[in-house]
Each structure stands twice: as structure tokens, then as C-alpha cells.
Amino acid sequence: MKRFNNYDNLEVDIDKLFDDQLKVPSKKSKIYVFKLISRYISALLLKAGIYEIAIEIGLFKKWFTEFKSYWYGILEGRPLYLHDFYFLLGLYRSKFQTVETPDYATNEEFLDSWQNSNTLYLLFGAVRRFSRTPLISRRYEKYIRNHDCVLEYGCGLAPITTSLLNVGTKRGLDLTIADIRQINFHYAIYNLGSLVSFFEIKPNVIEDFPKKYNVIIMITVMEHLPNPLDTIRNLTDFLAEGGILIFDYHSDDDGADGQDTIESIDQKKEVLDFISLNYSMVDGEIDYENSMGMTVVKKIH
């Protein structure tokens, strides 16, 4: 794996990372009562406006300890203190500003926009963001039943799955995460270990999933897909009868910027038409003209 100074100019060969170092650590499930305690303490601190302050001053550092373990042990980065994390966050963010997915990209171009050396900010940015949202799963839990099979598709850092495992109230969930080969997905596999199943998504390739799911969650995903219509059709095939699909759609009709794809704009009407024909609305509404927030639909066909 080619690297430079392993600190502010670290380069990661994503394919090699997945091929050679995809070791899934053994993890133990959190005891249910401890999940509830964590949930209510977090809720109280968030409501009081204390939680983020505790993160910022280093009082709560579990998120940083987990990041350091990955940075040292997997990426072979140089030692970090908490202030180094924030320094590198800003530095890698400045590099990331040049990253974009070309219109009608080839598979190689699409993957490069998620794997090149300037995308390391994706990891820093997501780790910081989701360290401050421990209860992110709460808004999804009312659509999930005990013992459901749940897929977080295009998961990135898998924040919803992580939250379900740490503070969720649902018991006996069979959790799966899936994404393309990118740094955040690798981190999620490393961090969640044996507590979840996972599979790889390949651009413009439609493959069978390992099983059918009761709930499929795809948040901030649709606008990044090179094949949204084929993807939603395939997801529907692997959603159980009466299953729940939770999604949003932030594609901007004025043009695809950054890592948004032009295909997400071109195919938006067809995607939403397909959803309208095959699902009943549970929460939210179909909007052809504007970006859609969290939308919940139930499979009817």
C-alpha cells in the first residue's frame, strides 16, 4: 500500500485494503439494559445541550478511541491526539473540494470519485458528524419490529445500524450493511465486526442479495447512484412482502454537483413512478420537483 508521510498526506489503496486487510473482528452484543441506560442518558444530555460539548472537550472519547484503533491498526497512520483529528479534518476537507463524479461516468471513473486519495475526508467528516448523533436510529425504529432483517444500503459509516446496536430498543435484529468499496464502508465493517453481516455493491452491476429483508434503509444514497432505477427495482425484489423501504432523494434538478450523479437526475421520474406503483405511502410524499426528505413506503407488489 503506497503511502507518503502517514499523517497529513496518507494515501490508501482501497482495493488492496478490502482484498488484503478485510478482517472482521469478533464483537459482543451490548446488554439490553445497558443499551437503554445509554439511550436515556444520551437523550438527557442532548436535550440539555451538553452532549456535543462533552464530545468537543474530550469528555466522551469512545468515538475517537475507535477511530484511532482503525487509523493505527489498519491504515498504519502516525499517532494522533484529539486536536490532531480536528486539524486533519480541516486539511483533508480542503483536498476533498476538488472531488466530483463525472457525468455519465464509467465504472472506473465512478469508483475513483469515491476511492482517490482526496476522499479520505469522507472518513474524518463522517466520524465527526455521527459521533454527535448517538440517537440517529430513533426516528427509524417505529418502522422496525423485533427480529426483523434490516439492510442499510449505501451505508457509508453505517450510522443507523451502529445506533440500533448501541441504543436501539428493538430485540433480535438481523442487521446487514452494504456499500461500494470506499473507506467509510471498510471502517464500518471493522468497527461493527461480527455484529452485522455485509456485502459489497458493484457499480452498474445487479446481483442477488444474500436474503430478503423486512426493512431496507437508504439515506443520502439515491443521488449518488449511477443506476437508481435498476437499483430500486432490485431492492424491491429483495424486500419481503409488506416490507418497508425508507429513503430520501436529494438530487438537484439544476445539475449534479460533487459526488451526485447525472443519472440520479435523469432517472428521477422513472424511479418515483416505480415506487408509486409498487408501494403505498406510510410517511412523507412523492415529490417530482423538489428534494425529498425521509420518506417511508410499504411494498404492495
Q: pLDDT by residue (tens digit) across 278-287?
A: 999 999 999 9
Residue 239 has pLDDT above 90, yes or no: yes
Q: CA-CA distance, 185 to 65, in Å (whole number)? A: 18
Q: C-alpha cell of 255?
A: 445539475
Per-residue model confidence as pLDDT tens digits over 147-164: 999 999 999 999 999 999
> Residue 167 contacts by C-beta under 8 Å, 6 or more apart in sequence?
35, 36, 38, 39, 42, 134, 135, 137, 138
State what percent of residues in the chain have pLDDT above 70.
Answer: 96
Whether the predicted pLDDT of 301 surpasses 60? yes
Give yes or no for residue 140 having a pLDDT over 50.
yes
DSSP, collapsed to helix, strand or coil, labels residue 293 as strand
Average pLDDT over residues 96-106: 93
Q: Cα(191)–Cα(162) distance, rounded to whole angstroms?
A: 9
User: The domain 138-299 is classified under which CATH number: 2.40.170.20, 3.40.50.720, 3.30.565.10, 3.40.50.150?
Assistant: 3.40.50.150
DSSP state of 102: P
- The Cα 16–Cα 75 span in angstroms is 11
Query: What distances in angstroms separate CA 177 from CA 126, 150, 190, 199, one per listed residue?
Result: 16, 9, 12, 7
Q: What is the pLDDT of residues 160-205, one digit of tens each?
A: 999 999 999 999 999 999 999 999 999 999 999 999 999 999 999 9
210 — pLDDT class (breaks 50, 70, 90): very high
Confidence grade of residue 274 (pLDDT, cut at 50, 70, 90)? very high
Cell of residue 269, nine digits: 421520474
pLDDT tops 60 at residue 102: yes
To which residue does cell 416490507 refer? 243
| pLDDT tens by residue, 54-86 | 999 999 999 999 999 999 999 999 999 999 999
Question: pTM of the full predicted structure?
Answer: 0.95
Q: What pLDDT does residue 1 have?
A: 44
**Mean pLDDT throughout 87-100?**
95
What local confidence, expressed as pLDDT, does residue 5 receive? Answer: 79
Contact criterion met (CB below 8 Å) for 247 and 218: yes
